[in-house]
Amino acid sequence: MTGFQINGHVGVVTGGCSGIGRAIAETLIGEGAQVVVFDLSPDDAPTGTALALNVDVSDEQAVARAFATIEDRFGDLDFAVNNAGIDIETEPSEEWLAGPLDRTIDVDLKGVYHCMRHAIALMRPRKSGAIVNIGSVAALVGTATRPVYAASKHAVTGLTRTAAIQFGEDNIRTNIVCPGGTRTDLLEKVMTDNPVLRDHIVASCPMRRLAEPSEIADAVLWLVSPRSSFVNGAVISVDGGYTAG
């Protein structure tokens, strides 16, 4: 067996216009997939995107309309990568603040739930599909000063495992990729403003570096492809060993 065998496959990447999501979309497009991007800035979609839709994943009706558009345009759905998320607990605090709670849960948890639900509905009739949720090391360990983000990512791990059990009979595989510190434009800006944070992130990784977005994308590529045909319910850390200790 050669290559990843996704040429012509139709799939969704949420949050696919920037950061890790963009790297995922570009990698899948490079392998010949027809990638539909959901993003709040669809005009910034990668070159070769099959369709770019303005979708706020926290809005269930908007998600439903977007998946209906996919069904009308393409008929089938082979994979879905739920990457869209926010992390707005940026200021260290000894208190648990109310501000980030609703919006973080709406996007990082409910958004994944909405997209999974509609993706599965398209996949079940043909008894085939691959879903990859993008978590975080915060899906596996506690994260100081970011309780809501960590809670939402832990919850996505639970959704992933539950879907793997419930829909495995339908040959729908559901897995989660949990990146560590990754060199996105957003993180680079934060670390430029806070060199101490950069040193901390690098020092906490046994490999003493950040991941490149393409390294996360390569893990996703494998999981949406037939090369991982018996991988279901897996929690895959791409973190340079951060969660190994």
Residues belonging to the active site: 149
Per-residue exposure over 182-193, b if at least 16 CB sit within 10 Å of its own CB, e if not: bbbeebeeebee
**Close Cβ partners of 10 (under 8 Å, ≥ 6 residues apart):** 33, 34, 36, 50, 70, 74, 76, 77, 78, 79
Whether 104 and 136 have beta carbons less than 8 Å apart is answered as: no
Whether 213 and 182 have beta carbons less than 8 Å apart is answered as: yes
Q: Which two tokens stand for residue 145?
A: 């000063």
Cα dist from 136 to 52, 75, 96, 107, 245, whole Å: 25, 32, 20, 15, 16
Work out the number of other CB atoms within 10 angstroms of the CB of residue 73: 12
CA 45/CA 16 separation, integer angstroms: 7
Start-to-end C-alpha separation, the chain: 35
